[in-house]
Structure 1
Amino acid sequence: MPPVPVQRRPLLQRAAAIVVRAVGILLGLVLAGFGALALWSHAPGGRLAAVALAVLWVIWVGTTGLLASADPRAWRAWGLLTAGCVLLGLWWGTITPSNDRVWAADVARTLRAERQGSEVVLYNVRNFDWRGEDDYTARWETRRYDLDRLRSVDMALSYWMGPAIAHTLVSFGFDDGRQLVFSVEVRKERHEQFSALAGFFKRYELALVAADERDILGVRARVRDEDVYLYRVHMPAPAMRALFEQYLDEAESLRNTPRFYQTLTANCTTIVYAMMQRIVPGLPLDLRLLASGYLPSYVQEVGALTTGYSLQELKARGRITERARQAGPNADFSAAIRQGLPVQAR
């Protein structure tokens, strides 16, 4: 009797099975990684307990996932995997932002504004005297500004981790020579250290700081050894005022409804971009909004930097690191760091 031919699955069916298996493995890795990092960032009981829970989660997902993928009819394995995901999701949903924690001194207070026409009174403007990271004289001030006297907007970039990563700050200048800097920052708790990885996982709240230039630019150049650059941003007067007021609105929003910092989507640059989009509709999205160290080239391409200079010239003349470090305690800090800064087209 002739042998019965073996029935082979069609090529397309086998390829589909491979794709499904690959997608399942990828989703399992994402699920295991997300849960592990979430537990590592938030689990109670100290760092050792957090690591132990993260490892247990990976083992749980790996074991139940392998059993489920080996036999799609293994409903018990699927049920255990689903139950773990539901419990993780419920726990994750309980982690909410707060304005009531033991904050680090430099973000301990929140900005508050009172507006009467063009007059603005700002409460809790930071003006610390920094001698070291943990050695400072804390000063929180009340200041009054007339937005009709607003004359300039400067973008400051402070590089703290390579050429692609910079902190973005915006400084507003008034016709009396005063400067006020707004900075969207991580609101760290006391003795807490920043981690860009933990910033993806609800680890830090957002803070909006209004500060004197000597404080907020000086501490980065002098104390934290960051490399700081300043660029004049050319905007019509109504747009400058609108941006200033956007910062005030953002401060009020954070006072009423705290939000988490998010390394990718809610950081010092993306929030400023969102504010600018309300003023300049159609402002293009760009990867340089994430790699903020390259932000000056983006701002130049949209026509907002001083014209007549190459980007290299603007960067070289806008580097204020040494000028900030050399400015004495009695010097006009804002004037000193702007020596040689191109502010007019040539």
Structure 2
Amino acid sequence: MPRLSLPTLLTASARLLLLPVVAVATAWGGGALWFQLPGPAPLRELVIALWGTLALLLAIALCCPRMRRLRRWSLAGYLLALAALLGWWQTLTPRNDRDWAPDVARQLAFERHGSQVTLYNVRNFEWRATGGFTPHWETREYDLDQLRSVDMLVSYWMGPAIAHTLVSFGFSDGRYLTFSVEIRRERGEAFSTFGGFFRQFEVSLIAADERDIVRTRTNVRHEAVYLYRVGLSRPAMRQLLLAYLDTARALRSEPAFYNTLTSNCTTLVFDMLRPIVPGLPLDYRLLLSGYLPDYAYDLGGLDDSRSLETLRRLGHINARARASDIDGHAAADFSRAIRRGVPAADGTLIAPPAPGDPATAP
């Protein structure tokens, strides 16, 4: 048996270590081409097939020591193609002037004079069980001195680990203003988890009435929605609301791409909170947003006089949301109805439970 020298072994090991790098780069390139290359699907499929063939030739050459010439040429070709792909990728820029879907067509704007803020393009759509809606975009005024609460709503639509996070601000006059970081879809476009990795969508920051943005999840889409009162000081509440408004202003002037992993409904909120609550730790639950209530509970941000399981049970608002409807339309007291029996951060109840509410049973 021939003896292999150390340099030969090192060279062989380096070739094998390149294989996973090539695999990851090829998978990323295939996704980028599929979601962003203009033209019909057959054209995208052809380009992806050529890209995959080039990667396959390189993989074969890396695994076969005697294919030195093929290895040199395939590596050079692959690197040139990868460089071209990365150069094209950098030309993709987010925009605000596309033909947007109606529910994300407008962007939030505001004016502030001391504690008084005027918000433009607050969404208050009337959503129907059939999936249709009647659009309403409103101008609203709020007094920051009247800010009294912050609630986190977590809406589960794909298993226990994946959820959409909303943050709702309550005022002393009984009104609630809810913010939601979402994808900004073009007209006729559908959400894609994988597309969110490949610059398919811009980021949209929606400010809405709860009868719109919460009710459509509980009563129309039938997602499982949980509400938790968060323990923040009033100065921190004010800072967080202003951080949302600053983010909205930034997105109007400089649009940004949504990213399923790094720039989504949870990570952007975390970025806003870090300057307000110093020392917030990074945690895997920020990526698996279905576990965000566990994260907040462990940090002492929720009512600690009850177990997290009890908070989940009391905070499950779907039945109360459905019961509040009047002839298929949102009731005026929707926000109060969904909070009946839900604990505040200090252990008291936000609103008395409704008689016979199964969630409040001991």
C-alpha separation in 2, matches of 1:302 and 1:15:
50
Equivalence for 1:246: 243
**Secondary structure at 2:38 match in 1:** coil
Which one is further off, 77-86 or 92-101?
77-86
- 2:220 aligned with 1:217: no
For structure 1, the 5+ residue unaligned runs are 1-5
1:142 alignment partner, one of 128, 139, 145:
139
Counterparts in 2 of 1:319-334, with a 5 A limit? 319-328=316-325, 329-334=330-335
8 Å CA contact 1:128–1:136 kept in 2: the answer is yes
Task: Name the SS for the 1:279 alignment partner.
Answer: coil
Per the alignment, residue 8 of structure 1 pairs with 3
In structure 1, the partner of 2:338 is 337
Aligned to 1:54: 48
12, 19, 30: which one aligns with 1:25 = 19
SS at match of 2:274: helix
Distance 1:137 1:23 in 2: 57
Deviation at 1:18, TM superposition (A): 4.5
Q: Report the CA distance between 1:203 and its aligned residue.
A: 0.7
| Length, aligned pairs only | 340
Matched, 1:205 2:202: yes
Say whether residues 1:283 and 2:280 are aligned partners: yes
Deviations 1:5-33 (A, max 9, x none): x76124x5565345312211111111211
Name the residue aligned to 1:315: 312
- In 2: Cα distance, 1:108 partner to 1:47 partner: 27
Residue 98 of structure 1 aligns to a residue whose secondary structure is: coil
Residue range with higher mean Cα deviation, 41-50 or 64-73: 64-73
Contact 2:266 2:286 (8 Å CA) reproduced: yes
Task: Tell whether 2:271 aligns with 1:274.
Answer: yes
Q: Give the counterpart letter for 2:36 in structure 1.
A: H
CA distance in 2, matches of 1:8, 1:49: 49
- 8 Å Cα contact 1:188-1:204 kept in structure 2: yes
Judge which range, 143-152 or 30-39, deviates more. Answer: 30-39
Q: Secondary structure at the match of 1:122?
A: strand
Return the alpha-carbon distance in structure 1 between the equivalents of residues 331 and 157 of structure 2.
Answer: 27
Q: Deviations over 1:263-322 (max 9, x none)?
A: 110000000001000111210010000111111111011111012110000000000011
Deviations 1:98-118 (CA, angstroms, capped at 9, x unpaired): 111111111000000111111
* Residues 18 and 69 (structure 1), Cα distance of their counterparts in 2 relative to 1, 3 Å cut: closer
Structure 1 residue 65, shift from structure 2 partner: 4.8
- Once the two structures are superposed, residues 77-136 of structure 1 have per-residue CA deviations (whole angstroms, 9 ceiling, x without a partner) of 332222211211121111111111111111000000111111100000000000046411
1:51 deviation in Å? 2.5
Alignment of 1:254-265 (within 5 A): 254-265=251-262
- Counterparts in 2 of 1:233 and 1:76: CA distance versus 1, 3 Å: same
Distance 1:335 1:145 in 2: 18
Deviation at 1:72, TM superposition (A): 5.0
Paired residues of 2:15 and 2:62 also in contact (CA < 8 A): no
Question: Which residue is equivalent to 1:39?
Answer: 33
Unaligned residue ranges in structure 2 (runs of 5+): 349-362
Report how far residue 61 of structure 1 moved. 2.1
Mapping 1:64-143, distance limit 5 Å:
64-67=58-61, 70=64, 71=67, 75-132=72-129, 134-143=131-140
Matched to 1:56, the amino acid is: L
Contact 2:19–2:62 under 8 Å retained in 1: no
Q: TM-score, normalised by structure 1?
A: 0.94
8 Å contact kept, 1:186–1:207: yes
Q: What do you get for the CA RMSD once the two structures are aligned?
A: 1.7
Match of 1:278, SS?
A: coil
Stretch moving more, 47-56 or 170-179: 47-56
2 CA distance for matches of 1:48 and 1:323?
A: 49
Q: What's the offset of the Cα at 1:49?
A: 2.5
Give the TM-score normalised by structure 2.
Answer: 0.90
Q: Distance in 1 between matches of 2:148 and 2:191?
A: 35
For 1:176, which of 173, 177, 197 is the aligned residue?
173
SS of alignment partner, residue 94 of structure 2: coil
- For 1:294, the equivalent position in structure 2 comes to 291
Distance in 2 between the 1:52 and 1:327 partners? 53
Change (3 A) 1:262 1:284: same
- Once residues 191 and 18 of structure 2 are traced to their aligned partners in structure 1, the CA distance between those partners, rounded to angstroms, is 33
What is aligned with 1:3? none
Q: What fraction of aligned residue pairs are identical, expressed as a percent?
A: 50
Query: Per-residue deviation at 1:75?
Result: 3.9
Mapped to 2, the partners of 1:69 and 1:7 lie a distance apart of 19
Deviation at 1:44, TM superposition (A): 1.5
| Offset at residue 334 of structure 1 (A) | 0.3
